[in-house]
Amino acid sequence: MIATRTYDLIAGDRFLELDGFHPEFSTTVKLEGLNPAGSIKIKAAREMIERAEEQGLITQGRHLIESTSGNLGVALASICAAKGYPITLVTDPNANARTVRFIRALGARVVTVTNRDSAGGYLRSRIAYIHGRLAADHDLIWLNQYANPANAAAHSRHTVTEILDGFGVPDWLFIGTGTSGTLMGCVRRLRELGLPTRVVAVDAVGSVTFGDVPGPRWIPGIGASRVPEIFHDDASFQKVLVDEVDTIRMCRRIAGRHGLLLGGSSGSALAAVHALRDRIPSGARVLALSPDMGEGYLDTVYSDEWVAERFGRGALDAPAETAAVDHLLPL
Ligand SMILES: Cc1ncc(COP(=O)(O)O)c(C=O)c1O
C-alpha cells in the first residue's frame, strides 16, 4: 500500500493469538500500537479533525487545544503537522516522558498540569486549565475528546469494521476505557449490527467512570477522575476494574512468554480476560484491544525500581492472578 498521508496508514488488520493464554478458549490481541503515531488514537484524532474541518471550525489564525494523557496528543500532533495546524496539548506528570518528547518533536506545544484534582487524578485540572485558556483566547478550538461524538464514531466506523474483516465476530471483546470513545463506538456498532458479542469494559481501580471511589492511579491510558460526557452505560456491556499491580504483572507475563511488549492498558484488558476466565465458555473466541505497544512504558511498567517504589517489591514476584472484578452483569 502506498499512502500519501501518514494518518491513512492505519494497520487495522494486525491480530496476534496468544498461544496458551488459556487452555479452554482462544485469546487474541488486536495490535493498535502498529498504527501511525503508535496507537489506536490516530483514528479518533483523524475523525475529530475531519469533522471540525467539515464544520468550518478550523480556519486561518485559529489554534487547536486538547487534553491528553499522551497517545491522542501524539496522534493529533502528527496530523496537525501534516496539515499545518498549530496545536497545544495539555498533559500531566503520568504521561510517558518519551511520549511528551515525541509530541514536541512533531512540532506541537505541550503544557504539563501538575496539581492533582479532588479525585486524586489530573483530568479535572487539565480541563480547568483549558477553560481558562478558552476564556482568554477566542481563536482557540477545543476538540474535547471526552465529549466529542467523533471520538466514538471513529471506532463505530473503523475499529468494528477492522475487527469483523480481520478476525470475525468475537464471542467476547475486552476494551479499556479512558474517554470511553473506543468502548462506546464499538458497542454502538456491534448492537446496530445485531451481533451477540459480549463486550467487557475494562477500567482501573481508582477511576470514577464506572461509579467507583476515586483514587490515585499511575498508568496512563485508561481511567478518568471525572466521568467522560460520551460515556453512557446502556447495561449492554460488563464492567471490570483491574488493579494496576495486576496490569503490571500481566504486561510482564506477556513480554516474558510471548516476546510482545504491550502498553499498560493492554495488560489491563488481558488481566480482565484472566479474571473472567471461569465465566468464559470453552471454545470461545476472545479478543482484547491492545491500544499501544510497550516501549513508552520501559521506565514505568517495565522498570523494577519504578514498580517497587509505588507498589512494593511483592508486585514484582507474584503471577497475575487477582484482577479485581466489580460491577459484573449477571451471566
Ligand atoms: C494506551 C491507551 N489505552 C486505552 C485508551 C482508552 O481509549 P478511549 O479514550 O477510547 O477510551 C487510551 C486513550 O488515550 C490509551 O492511550
Q: Which residues of 67-76 are buried (b: 16+ CB within 10 A; e: fewer)?
A: bbbbbbbbbb
Q: What is the pLDDT of residue 329?
A: 47
From 179, 189, 250, 289, the mutation candidate for ligand 1 (largest count of ligand atoms within 8 A of CB) is: 179
Pairwise CA distance, residues 87 & 130, whole Å: 13
CA dist 186 → 105, 274, 289 (Å): 32, 22, 11
Q: Which CATH number does the domain housing residue 257 bear?
A: 3.40.50.1100
Q: Do 312 and 287 share a structural domain?
A: yes
**Does residue 209 line the site of ligand 1, with CB under 6 A?**
no
Set of cell numbers at residue 237: 456491556
Is pLDDT above 90 for 307? Answer: yes
Which of 99, 115, 142 terminates a domain? The answer is: 142
**Does residue 296 line the site of ligand 1, with CB under 6 A?**
no
Which of 142, 168, 196 terminates a domain? The answer is: 142
Q: Do 97 and 182 share a structural domain?
A: no
For 88-116, what is the mean pLDDT?
Answer: 92
- 1 within a domain of the structure (yes/no): no
What is the DSSP secondary-structure string of 190-228?
HHHTT---EEEEEEETT--TTSPPP-----SSS--SS--
Q: What is the pLDDT of residue 268?
A: 97
Q: What is the pLDDT of residue 331?
A: 38
Q: What is the pLDDT of residue 105?
A: 96
Q: Do 277 and 206 share a structural domain?
A: yes
- 97 within a domain of the structure (yes/no): yes
Atom of ligand 1 nearest to the CA of 292: 1
303 Cα to the center of ligand 1, angstroms? 22
Scan for cell 496537525, then name that residue. Answer: 80
Scan for cell 514505568, then name that residue. Answer: 300
Q: What is the pLDDT of residue 220?
A: 86
Scan for cell 504521561, then name that residue. Answer: 95
pTM, to two decimals: 0.94
209 Cα to the center of ligand 1, angstroms? 13
| 122 or 262, which is more confident | 262
Q: What is the pLDDT of residue 76?
A: 98
Nearest to 67 by CA among 155, 176, 143, 148: 143
From 41, 99, 174, the mutation candidate for ligand 1 (largest count of ligand atoms within 8 A of CB) is: 41
- 325 within a domain of the structure (yes/no): no
Number of neighbouring beta carbons within 10 Å of residue 23? 7
CA dist 291 → 103, 112, 187, 220 (Å): 18, 23, 17, 12
- 163 within a domain of the structure (yes/no): yes
Is pLDDT above 80 for 319? Answer: no
Pairwise CA distance, residues 74 & 281, whole Å: 39
Q: Do 46 and 30 share a structural domain?
A: no
Q: Do 113 and 184 share a structural domain?
A: no
Q: Do 243 and 109 share a structural domain?
A: no
For residues 289, 291, 293, 299, the Cα torsion angle rounded to the nearest 10 degrees is: -120
For 55-71, what is the mean pLDDT?
Answer: 90
**Does residue 39 line the site of ligand 1, with CB under 6 A?**
yes
Atom of ligand 1 nearest to the CA of 69: 14
Q: Do 246 and 172 share a structural domain?
A: yes
Q: What is the pLDDT of residue 42?
A: 98
Q: What is the pLDDT of residue 216?
A: 87
For 79-91, what is the mean pLDDT?
Answer: 95
**How many domains are there within the chain?**
2
Q: What's at 316, amino acid-wise?
A: L
Number of neighbouring beta carbons within 10 Å of residue 283? 9
Contact 65, 88 (CB under 8 A): yes
For 82-87, what is the mean pLDDT?
Answer: 95
| Domain span at 11 | 6-35+149-317
Q: Do 280 and 224 share a structural domain?
A: yes
Q: What is the pLDDT of residue 248?
A: 96
Scan for cell 490515585, then name that residue. Answer: 216
Is pLDDT above 80 for 327? Answer: no
Render pLDDT for 280-302 as a digit per residue (tens, 0 to 9). 999 999 999 999 999 989 999 99
Render pLDDT for 153-189 as a digit per residue (tens, 0 to 9). 999 999 999 999 999 999 999 999 999 999 999 999 9
For 17-40, what is the mean pLDDT?
Answer: 97
Which of 142, 166, 181 terminates a domain? The answer is: 142
Q: What is the pLDDT of residue 13?
A: 97
**Does residue 294 line the site of ligand 1, with CB under 6 A?**
no
pLDDT band at 330 (very low <50, low <70, confident <90, very high): very low
Render pLDDT for 228-283 as a digit per residue (tens, 0 to 9). 999 999 999 999 999 999 999 999 999 999 999 999 999 999 999 999 999 999 99
Q: Do 153 and 268 share a structural domain?
A: yes
Q: What is the pLDDT of residue 293?
A: 97
**Does residue 290 line the site of ligand 1, with CB under 6 A?**
no
90 Cα to the center of ligand 1, angstroms? 16
For 63-92, what is the mean pLDDT?
Answer: 94
Q: What is the pLDDT of residue 328?
A: 53
